[in-house]
Amino acid sequence: MADFTPDEMMTIAAARALSNDDVCFVGIGAPSAACNVARLTHAPDITLIYESGTIATAPSVLPLSIGDGELCETALTTVSVPEMFRYWLQGGRISIGFLGAAQLDPFGNINTTVIGDYAHPKTRLPGGGGAPEIASSCGEVFITMKQTKRGMVKAIDFFTSFGHGKGGSDRQDLGITTKGPTLLVTDMAVWRPNPQTKEFEVNSIHPGASREAIAASCDWDVVYAADVGETPPPTELELSTLRAIKARTAAAHRRNAA
Which strands, in side-by-side order, build the sheet including 189-193? 77-78, 54-55, 47-49, 23-26, 96-99, 140-144, 181-185, 189-193, 200-205, 224-230
Known catalytic residue: 51? yes
Are 139 and 166 spatial neighbours (Cβ–Cβ below 8 Å)? no
Task: Specify the DSSP class assigned to residue 161.
Answer: B
State how far the Cα of 104 lies from the Cα of 153, in Å rounded to an integer: 6
> Of 207, 133, 197, which is closest to residue 166 (Cα–Cα)?
197
Radius of gyration, CA atoms only, the chain: 18
**Alpha-helical segments (H) within the chain:** 6-16, 30-40, 69-73, 81-83, 131-137, 170-173, 211-216, 236-257
Catalytic, out of 51, 70, 133, 238: 51
* Helix orientation angle between 30-40 and 6-16, rounded to the nearest 10 degrees: 60
CA neighbours closer than 13 Å in the CB half-sphere of residue 35: 32
State how far the Cα of 2 lies from the Cα of 52, in Å rounded to an integer: 37
Name residues whose C-beta falls within 8 Å of residue 240's C-beta, 6 or more positions apart in sequence.
none
Query: What positions carry a catalytic annotation?
Result: 51
